[in-house]
Amino acid sequence: DTGVSQDPRHKITKRGQNVTFRCDPISEHNRLYWYRQTLGQGPEFLTYFQNEAQLEKSRLLSDRFSAERPKGSFSTLEIQRTEQGDSAMYLCASSFGTVSYEQYFGPGTRLTVT
């Protein structure tokens, strides 16, 4: 296991299209997080899962965004009807246990909406 992986690494899409990103956490980690990072900003929390349960969603996560972690392993983040403002780096992180003091980040998926 080489760490958290994300696929694809880059995605270019036209406005209005749907996109889906995948995150594979470190195998024994039960918590999985999604963050979004725009240029010049730090990562901003979107949502997190403990096992397959989605326990919190940020107000940043509009109804066009949906995330799943069906078997408590990998997770997907889908954006419907993309807008130019969705262009950002989408980061996934995972951690072990109920005290998430160390989150391990993936390389991110860079989304460009044209």
Query: In this chain, which of 1, 56, 78, 83 binds another protein, going by CB under 8 A?
Result: 56
According to CB under 8 A, which one of 55, 60, 62, 114 is a site residue for another protein?
Answer: 55
The DSSP call for residue 37 is E
21 forms part of the interface with another protein (CB under 8 A): no
Query: 2, 1, 6: which is closest to 110 by C-alpha?
Result: 6
| Residue 99 is a binding residue for another protein (CB under 8 A) | yes
43 touches another protein by CB under 8 A: yes
Determine, following the binding rule CB under 8 A, whether residue 102 of this chain makes contact with another protein: yes
Q: Which residues of 73-90 are buried (b: 16+ CB within 10 A; e: fewer)?
A: ebbebebeebeeebbbbb
**What is the C-alpha separation between 89 and 69, in angstroms, rounded?**
20
Q: Which chain residues interact with another protein by CB under 8 A?
A: 3-4, 31, 33, 35, 40-45, 48, 55-56, 91, 98-108
